[in-house]
Amino acid sequence: MDNILVHSDEHVGMRVPMKYRDEKAVVRPANLVELIAEVDKIFSEDTVNVDYVHALMESYKSNPADWRAYAKFDPHRYTRNLVSEGNGKYNMMLLCWNEGQGSSIHDHANSHCFMKVLQGSLIETQYYWPAKKGQPMKRKQTTELMLDQCAYIDDTIGLHRVENPSHVDSAITLHLYIPPYSECHCFDENTGKPRTAKVTFWSKYGQRTREAPTESADPDSSKRDADLRNAMAQPAP
């Protein structure tokens, strides 16, 4: 059964075990292993307090020694690297962003998404769901996420695009998706047109996967790949 996620101030929060009701009571995990152990405990319960998970993720102080083994970069696309499958309840992963790499505008397939910065900084731009066919998408807000900050989004909040704004530094983020998903939708900013895209892992537990980066494998890089191929196919002037 999927977890039910609620906020601290919702009356249904009473279903959350007492020890997870108050996010101010979070104990900072000493390292990534402790963070995962605590996340495992939280998601072993049916009902989960979003605010507690958010505070827990933010309290972890990024230490490269904890996550270096999962940090795999690709020169052409940002990568998704699985760290934990959480007994099927969630996926925890590292996303590695080279200089200037970014995602397309996407939804989260009715899942909940926490995103914490482990290295560098990220720009998150949120969008409203497309209102009318063929109309440009409307921006909701843009936030710069700094080291150790954590953001949260789900489909009720809207859509977003994530980018590494730096042209000199790479960036790494730690993501928690509840429940895990293998498909989502990407949206064209100019028209709001959606398309379904599969999501795959560049590596799992530090090992390169056999999931080939096909055009549809990574929703957020495929357009750029196609653009790149088109550009390369152009005859020289």
Q: Which residues are annotated as a binding site for Fe cation?
A: 106, 108, 160
Q: Which residues contact 19 (CB under 8 A, 6 or more apart)?
A: 25
User: Please, which residues bridge with residue 184 across strands?
Assistant: 197
Candidates 123, 169, 173, 165; CA nearest to 148 is 173
The annotated binding site is made up of 106, 108, 160
Cis peptide before 130 (omega within 30 of 0): no
Q: Taking the alpha carbons of 83, 87, 88, 89 in that order, is the dihedral positive or negative?
A: negative
The residues with which 185 forms a beta bridge, in sequence order, are 196
Q: Are strands 105-106 and 183-187 parallel, antiparallel or unpaired?
A: antiparallel
- Dist. CA 89–CA 37, nearest whole Å: 13
**92 pairs with which residues across the strands?**
84, 176
